[in-house]
Amino acid sequence: MELPHTLKVLEECQISPPSGSVPPTSLPLTFFDLVYVKLPPVHRLFFYKYHHPKAHFIDTVLPNIKNSLSLTLQHFYPYAGNLKWPQESPKPELVYEEGDAVPLTVAESDYEFSQLSGNHARDAMTIFPEKGICIGITINHVVSDGRTSIHFIKSWASVCRLEGDTSLMTASLPYYDRSVISYLDPKATNYLNIFEKYNVVTKDTFHTLKVDHLPPIDRVRATFVMGLNDIKRLKKWVSSRLEMEEPIYLSSLVVTCAYVWVCLLKARWGETDHENEAEEHIIVPIDARARLDPPLPVTYFGNCIGAVDVMCNRSVLIGEDGIAIAAKLIGKAIKNYDFNAQLEELDLSYFMSIPKGQIEGVGSSPRFAVYDTDFGWGKPEKVEMNPIDGGQSIALSECPNEAGAIEIGLVRKKTEMDPFAYIFANSIELLS
């Protein structure tokens, strides 16, 4: 669909770390990184109010954005590097060489700022003259997970806000020592063997590997809010519907994931298909840094994510107690999560065999506090993350307007988004 608005590119450039500040370096991909080798990049959008003329942005703000990005890349240099698989290496590597850079595109749009930064469903589409600024960041998930990428973005924001002062960033630098997890190398080798078996990627095809960068054009994006009172009500209702033979782990994230999962299934398949025994899955990520032995620091650069795979028959989930059952299963899986046990049982080929339409993935986390990202223009009006697979993910973040509430970002077909919005808004009121 053609939009009646324009997007004018003002500048395209390359931003490198300061000359000579980073020696040539290579980082081998780990077991954790290789999980994401075929997934699309992650796109994050930060919308800020900015009531100044374009000339002020070009003359004052843009030079600071460029300089602060360069200074930040000195310490987060893999983002400026390239993914390569040298012939002599058993695994792909992140390689940084002098002169490597990240592309920066500066654009101007006459699209209404409030329309793009709202919660309503709209077409998935960077200054908005005298209205606002949107900073969009695309990061290959093979390079890092959400915790690392937010560490980078907040570090960049602090240097920009302080106009080149790196003191806040250097107090929390990324940690690059991967020797601690070298014991997982056999698992990484196993992954590569499976990728070759299923013709996902090999050493010969790695340099030509292509992934889709954007969701299909028939999608709309919307944000929903699970308010604190709704979360409390859900927890109380779930507890009342389940036999409490053992304590149930019911965090805000657990009940939110359960509620959204069931609402999505009802929107996609209808609310009356109670005979369908198809198995549905939801994948909930868990930061594994603190669960390793020895543990990794929170500033570890790269991917370090475990996950729980919760499965249940569709007929059960869309039934009368589906939300409560989903919450019980998700809570139990998280509470009992054992990273080492998961390593022993992990079967990548099993996950690859799950039909795409029967698996949801949770992305990001309210704990990342993305609304604290201040480049010098105050906190963002809106933060969005495009689901990593273009439509089968649930992006979670904290809510900027209500402590304890959770924002849910979705990209779906309009034929699915409209019924989901109705079910999401009304189902809580029906709980009794």
DSSP 272-312: --TT--PEEEEEEEEE-GGGSSSPPPTTB-S--EEEEEEEE
Domain span(s) for CATH 3.30.559.10 in the chain:
7-208, 219-430
Strand partners, 175: 300
Whether 169 contacts 154, CB under 8 Å: no
Strand partners, 94: 27, 83
For the chain, helix (H) and strand (E) counts, in that order, are 14, 16
Per-residue pLDDT averaged across 131-136, rounded? 89
Q: Nearest Cα to 42, choosing from 186, 161, 148?
A: 148
412 burial via Cβ count (<10 Å: 0-12, 13-18, 19+): buried
Two structure tokens written together for 51? 């009531």
User: How many CB atoms neighbour CB 283 within 10 A?
Assistant: 19
Whether 254 contacts 152, CB under 8 Å: no
State the catalytic residue, choosing from 185, 273, 372, 374. Answer: 374
Give the max Cα distance, the chain.
66
Kindly state the percentage of the chain with pLDDT values over 90.
Answer: 62
Q: Is the pLDDT of residue 122 over 50?
A: no
Two structure tokens written together for 264? 């999505």
Two structure tokens written together for 395? 């992006």
* Residue-wise pLDDT tens digits, 340-363: 877 777 676 777 778 878 899 999
Per-residue pLDDT averaged across 184-189, rounded? 86
* Residue-wise pLDDT tens digits, 142-171: 999 999 999 999 999 999 999 999 999 999
CA distances from 304 to 32, 35, 398, 432 (A): 6, 10, 21, 40
Strongest mean pLDDT among 74-78, 191-195, 277-281: 74-78
Distance CA 207, CA 85 (A): 7
Between residues 430 and 11, which one has the greater pLDDT?
A: 11
| Active site (annotated) includes residue 141 | yes
Q: Is the pLDDT of residue 207 over 90?
A: no
Between residues 52 and 149, which one has the greater pLDDT?
A: 149
Between residues 330 and 39, which one has the greater pLDDT?
A: 330
Two structure tokens written together for 41? 């990049």
Whether 232 contacts 250, CB under 8 Å: no
Q: Strand 82-84's sheet: what is its strand order?
A: 25-28, 93-96, 82-84
Q: Is the pLDDT of residue 120 over 80?
A: no
Strand partners, 412: 220
- Specify the length of the chain in residues: 432
Distance CA 422, CA 263 (A): 9
CB neighbour list of residue 389: distance below 8 Å, 6 or more residues apart: 39, 40, 356, 361
Q: Looking at residue 326, what is its pLDDT?
A: 98
Looking at residue 81, its amino acid is G
Distance CA 263, CA 249 (A): 21
Q: Looking at residue 387, what is its pLDDT?
A: 59
Q: Looking at residue 282, what is its pLDDT?
A: 97
Q: What is the mean pLDDT of the chain?
A: 88
Distance CA 207, CA 37 (A): 12
Q: How does residue 174 score in pLDDT terms, banded at 50, 70 and 90?
A: very high
Q: Is the pLDDT of residue 2 over 60?
A: no
7-208 maps to CATH 1.10.10.10:
no
SS3 393: strand
* Residue-wise pLDDT tens digits, 219-241: 888 999 999 999 999 999 999 98
Considering Cα of 175, then 179, then 181, then 184, what sign does the dihedral take? positive
State the catalytic residue, choosing from 33, 141, 151, 230. Answer: 141
* Residue-wise pLDDT tens digits, 290-323: 988 889 999 999 999 999 999 999 999 999 999 9
Say if residue 294 is preceded by a cis peptide, omega within 30 of 0: yes
Architecture of domain 219-430: 2-Layer Sandwich (3.30)
Question: Percentages helix, strand, coil for the chain, rounded to the nearest 5?
Answer: 40, 25, 40
Whether 408 contacts 394, CB under 8 Å: yes
Distance CA 373, CA 375 (A): 7
Helices (H), 242-377: 252-269, 314-317, 322-335, 339-345, 348-353
Two structure tokens written together for 275? 């005979």
| Active site (annotated) includes residue 418 | no
